Every structure is written in C-alpha cells, then in structure tokens.
Structure 1
C-alpha cells in the first residue's frame, strides 16, 4: 500500500487545506502528517496519524527562537554558534532521516513555506527513490515582476503600485539579511541556505531564480495549489508544473462545540425565521498588540448595526466584558465555523485564505479587514474585491458609518451573493481524483 507523508508548516491554516486530499488518499493509502508537537492532539482528533517533530526547518532565522525554547543562554552566543555549525540543518537531517526510516514513504507532500526541507531531503529522495511534490496552502509568496505581491493591497492594473510593493519587499529582505550578516559575522539566512545547497549538491534545475521574503524558491517540481484557478487574478501566470485542485474544503473536519454555542445557534435560527439576517464576525487569532484596535472595531461594529435588522455572532477570545450590546448580539470565545457559515448572510473576516474558501463554499459574501501585512490576508482581500465577492475595510480607520454602509451594501446588493455562488459552482468542477492521479505518476527526484 503506497504511503504518503505530509510535511506541513506550523499552523492550522497549513494543515486544514490538506485534510480533504489526505482523507481521500487514506481510503487506499497510508497517510501520515508530520509537524511540531503542538498540533499532535488536533491532527489525531481529525482521524490522521501524526509524527511530532522536535526540530524546525533551517534557513528561516529560527536559531535564536530555538535557543530560547531550549533555555540555552546566552542566547546570542549559542545562536551564532548554531549558524556557523549548521546546527538546525544537522538536527533536522537526523530527525527527518529517522522519520523516513520509520514510515518509509513513497511520496512526500512538502509545504511551500518550508522549502528548505527539500535540501535536507534531497539525498534521501534520490537514494530511496521517494517522490516529492509541493503543496500550496496559500497563494504563492514568490515575487513575480509586474504582478502584485500576495501581502499587498494593490490590483493587477496598478503597475506603479506593484513596482513600489515589490521594491519595498526586496528592500526589506536586503535589510533583514544585512542585519543578520552583521549580527552573526556573515552568516545570514541566505548564506546558510546556499552553503547547504552546495554541500548537498542540489542540481541547479531545482533552484529557481525568483525571490520570496523568506526561504527558498524551488523549480521543476510538481506543485498542487488548493484553490480554483478562477480565484486568482486573471493576469496570474500559469506554469505546466502547477496544478489547481480547488478549495477542497474538508467537511469531515471535526470542530469542537459546546452547550453555549448550541443554545445561541437555536436562538439565531429562531430570529432568522423572523426575517433577520446573520452577520458572522471572526478574526482568527488576534495578536495582543492589536487587541485594543480590535476592541475599538467591535464597538464601531455594534454601533454600525443600528437599523440593519441583523443578528451579530462574534467569535473572539478577547475580554469583551466592557462592551455594551443588545439581545441580537452574541459573543462567544469559539464557534464551529463550518457550521456557522451554513446559515450566515455576511462574513466579517481577517482575510485568512481558509476562512475565505469556506465562505465561498457556503456562498457567503464577505467584508474583509486584513489582519496583518506580513503574509497573505491583504492579497486575499484584494482578490475578494477584484471578483466582487465582497468588500474590504480598514479596521483602524473605518467609522461606524463606513461599516454600516458596507454591510448594508453586502446585505442588499444581490451581485455579491451571485458572484460568490458562481465561484462556488466553478469550484465544484475541480476533482480531487485528478490530483490523486497526478500524484500517482510523479517523476522521480534525480
């Protein structure tokens, strides 16, 4: 029975997109997920086997963080030594070798956020004839000329904006690497990566000339993108080795529930029966630095709901005891999102791709407030606006009147619902069987 190993970057947003593919493979193959120990309980609760790793990918600037976790002091001295001794690589190589000895996979599906693991794995892939493909849990962070970076708010027709954003990202990367070079006596992340590329004799065909802000861009490997092609900009380039497989939302995913949610759900459905509409708001994990901004936004949102004849269901773990709200507003620390979206009319989201995918799959228009600018929420929100699947706001500057206007438009203008429904139907044409067929015929690593 063929064996598939998923090597995922840490974060539910990287595991969840793989679940539907993994469940389908599991019907006739052995499947194993591997990642940091923190996600052991979550992955096993979804019905998958999990191999906890103690190491992290090298070349991503994690030396000092690892020293802090291991309580090795002074942190700077040990991090400097680790960079020069290739410590993260060596530990990663030992652990991944042990993993491959234990599970003996036929195919490895490697998250594009940890592509430096390909360097570690390459000698093993070649000698053991293990095939490998890349999986994109998110839109690509590779910088492409004349195309908006994924963490930007610019549209494809804004060439000046695109150039500005690309130059800004490249400058940030140069600054980061120069700081590392000075701090660690020449041993910055890129130097560490390319030193190991040479030592492991990675063929040049596998190393792309393109850049990303962190890590390595690989080439000439089959790539599977958990999106329909139609969600991206029409200007996006298509490559023969890239395969869009659709959203692949996993409705077999186990989501925790509780009596509080069950009670609220009953009340909301009763109110919806009286022709009220539900606005569902969830922003994922809000960094503590943004807590006050988010709480101020909640205040503005509650004011904005006046005369809209809606119910608000807000999911947040922040302390909202000081917030005043009416009977048609429900605030819970957690809700099972796949269930809530089935009866939502508008989804206010931070712009995480998995949340957007799930909303589209339930035909729910969105109001996106991009939660952070380092990763993909800004670019995701731009695509929502580009395809008229919803609107975008700015949490820091939107007034109650701004929020009211956007919600009113989403609730009354049928074009948004129609466009989301259309993309939902387009996505239905993507079959996971095609991805599995392609996986079964992956070329060997040479």
Structure 2
C-alpha cells in the first residue's frame, strides 16, 4: 500500500477534480492525506481521505490585480511557508506528492524529500509556448513578471520570508519563469489533449485525463427541478462558485429570455439573495445551488462564466455554451471554445439582453455548434477521467 499526500488551496474549482481521483486511490488500497484549508475539510473527508488543515489566505482570483500583487505575493509565500513547516518537519513519509498548479513551489517538497511529484492542472497548461503564442497571455505575463521581480528584490517583508525559507529549509525562491508551466514528475491535466491549445508542443510527462466526472456527495435529486421544465428545452445559467455575486447579470438574463418558450434553470450561488433579484419571470427557476452535473446532463444549452471545470463538464455532456468570462484563465477558455466552434464567447463589459437572446437562439438553432462539440466530447470521454488519473499516479511509484 502506497501513501500519498495531496496539497491544495481553498477553491472548489481546484479541489473538485481531485475528489474522484482520491476516492479511487483509496478504494484501490492507497492511504491518502490531504492538506487544505479547514473550510473544505468535510468535502474531502467524504471521499475517505485523512485531512490536515493549514492556514491559507491566498487570493488567487485577484492575483494579477495591480493593486493586490504585493499582498498576494506575501500571502503566497506565507502559505508556502506554512506548508513547508508541515511537510518538511513531518516524520511521515509519502510515496508521492500531488500539488495544485497554483501552489507550484510545492514541487520543491518533492526535490527536498526525494519523492516523485504530480502537478494537478485544473485548467490549461500555461507554459511558455502558450504564453508566447497568445498575445493577451504574453502581455499579462510580462507585466506580472516585472512587478513580481521588483517585489522579490526590493520589498522588505517579502525578502524576510525568503530569508527564513533559505535559513530554515535551504529553499531558494525560484525565478518566476520556473513557476509558469511548472510540472512534476508527471502532470495530470483535467482536460483532453485536443482541447488544450498547442498540445503538440508538450512533452509526454503531461497526462491528459479529461474531466474528473465522479459522484459528489452534495448532489441531490434533480426531479423537482427538471419537472418544472415541462418538457421544454432547458437552459442552465451559472457563474460558478467564485464570481456569482452578480445581480446585474442575472437581471439581464431575465430581460433577455422572459419572452422565450424555454425553461431556464439559474444557479446564483450562496452570496446572492434571490429576493433581491426582484420579479422572476415565469419561465425561470432560480436557486442558490443546483447539482450541476445532473443539470448539465439534461440541459440543451449553458450560459457560463467559462470556468474550466464547468466548461469541461458542459463539453463532456455535449452542451453548447455561451461563455461570459469574468477573470483569470476564463477568457482563454472561452476563446478556445469559440475557436473550436462549440460555443459563443461574449464580453462581460459590453453584454446586453439583446446580445444574450440573439446568442442563445443561435446556439440552439444552428446545428454547427452541436456538431463541433462532438469531437471535443469524444476526446474528453476517451481521456479516461479519474480512473486514468489514478493509474498515472500509481504508475510513478513503480518507476521512481
């Protein structure tokens, strides 16, 4: 029996893809310890892992905000220092370490402990090829790199933490370029090679396993939601778990679709008060939460924030999508879907009810979107999901 250590940050989008993998490994007899913030403890314990909590205030979704970079670099280094204290001072020995791509410096734990590592990549592989070939990514990276380089060499608080890491653990902060496109002994990528841009330029240590579609304990019976659709075409609307406090967007959807003969299932998240949305059209069912996988399996169209997990899940079920990216990697995800003809990408800043209605009618009535999705859907399903990810993880312990 092998012992594995998973390390993650406080984000549903980064934790959820690993749950099926962890459950599968445990069912195969592996012992899994999972390091993550306390608020996600129950979610991971439900799949059988032993959880160790750590303090993390990392704000990854504003990481490139010019006004937040110093705070986020400090939080990133403090998070890494907290993890180093747990991992490097522990008497426990692990056969492999699985770390999230955002926590790229955790790969250093593997080097220090002579333990094989797995980088868990829940979005695209953002390596130098990706950055150099996509103008927007190159511009964002260049500005980000310049700001971080200045902070690492000039900011006293950051230098103090860097010195502690050097003195206590003999760890030198790597150049920012080493953190972009980081990879472990292998990297498990939760999409398909076909959907990944420039995948032909990646080496074979990147293992594309597709979305980790597995049972989630929080899912509920969908019958009451679907029954309200009265057999009509069903459109699912969700901005995910992070950028969902957007009453203005939801009201635009009401105005755009209230006269259409479709049924709309809208998930607004826990931070939005449904009462504050005002009058809800008769063809809308609005919830703070819905079981997304179940809804997507029945949906005819999806209006989404272009989060990677939600997008992969929609493509897995063959659902054409209107994408309204909010931040971080989402514009790149939306761009890739549009490039492959599987959906329509809209600009969140200039979106109107008229444009939303026109786009929805287009993806529902133009068969080209359904046809273009077929190849992506097939590639995602053939990638193998969480069972294949577990195979790759177990494989590195045999070759290490």
Q: Which residue of 357, 372, 393 corresponds with 1:439?
A: 393
Q: Which of residues 245, 254, 260 is equivalent to 2:209? A: 245
User: Would the alpha carbon gap of residues 197 and 382 (structure 1) be closer, same or farther in structure 2, given more than 3 Å must change?
Assistant: farther
**In 2, Cα distance between the equivalents of 1:9 and 1:113?**
8
Q: Indicate whether 1:395 and 2:348 are aligned.
A: yes
**Residue 139 of structure 2, aligned match among 167, 178, 184:** 167
Tell whether 2:177 aligns with 1:211. Answer: yes
CA contact (8 A) 1:21 1:248 kept: yes
Give yes or no for contact 2:8–2:99 (8 Å, CA) kept in 1.
yes
Partner of 1:159: none
Cα distance in 1 between the residues matched to 2:37 and 2:295: 29
| CA separation of 1:440 and 1:114: change in aligned 2, threshold 3 A | same
**What's the CA shift for 1:13?**
1.0
Question: SS of 2:201's equivalent?
Answer: coil
What's the CA shift for 1:396?
Answer: 2.5
Select the residue among 84, 90, 94 that pairs with 2:85: 94
Shift of 1:225: 1.0
Task: State the secondary structure of the residue aligned to 1:422.
Answer: helix
Matched with 2:224 is: 263
Which of 83, 86, 105 is equivalent to 2:94? 105
- Pick aligned residue for 1:410 from 346, 363, 374: 363
Aligned: 1:199 with 2:189: no
Choose the corresponding residue for 1:338, options 293, 309, 316. 293
2:111 paired residue number:
122
Give 1:314 deviation, angstroms: 0.9
Task: Check 1:185–1:331 CA distance in 2 against 1; reply closer, same or farther (3 A cut).
Answer: closer
Cα contact 2:33–2:50 (8 A) shared by 1: yes
Q: Any stretches of 5+ residues in structure 1 without a counterpart?
A: 63-75, 150-155, 157-161
Q: Does 1:302 align with 2:303?
A: no
1:363-374 to 2 correspondences below 5 Å: 363-372=318-327
SS in 1 for 2:94: coil
Structure 1 residues 7-29: Cα deviation after superposition (integer angstroms, max 9, x where no partner):
22321111111223223222222
Q: Secondary structure at the match of 2:204?
A: coil
Q: Which runs of 5+ in 2 are unaligned?
A: 63-70
Which of residues 236, 239, 250 in structure 2 aligns to 1:283? 239
Q: How many residues align?
A: 384
Task: Find the partner of 1:323 among 278, 283, 300.
Answer: 278
Task: Kindly indicate whether the alpha-carbon contact (under 8 Å) linking 1:119 and 1:196 is maintained by their aligned counterparts in 2.
Answer: no
Question: Residue 360 of structure 1 aligns with which residue?
Answer: 315
Q: Give the secondary-structure state (helix, strand or coil) at the position aligned to 2:52.
A: strand
Match of residue 419 from structure 1: 372
Secondary structure, aligned partner of 1:134 = strand
- 1:101–1:193 CA distance, 2 compared to 1 (3 A): closer
TM-score by length of structure 1 reads 0.75
Task: With the length of structure 2 as denominator, give the TM-score of the two structures.
Answer: 0.82
Contact residue 37 and residue 54 of structure 1 kept, 8 A: yes
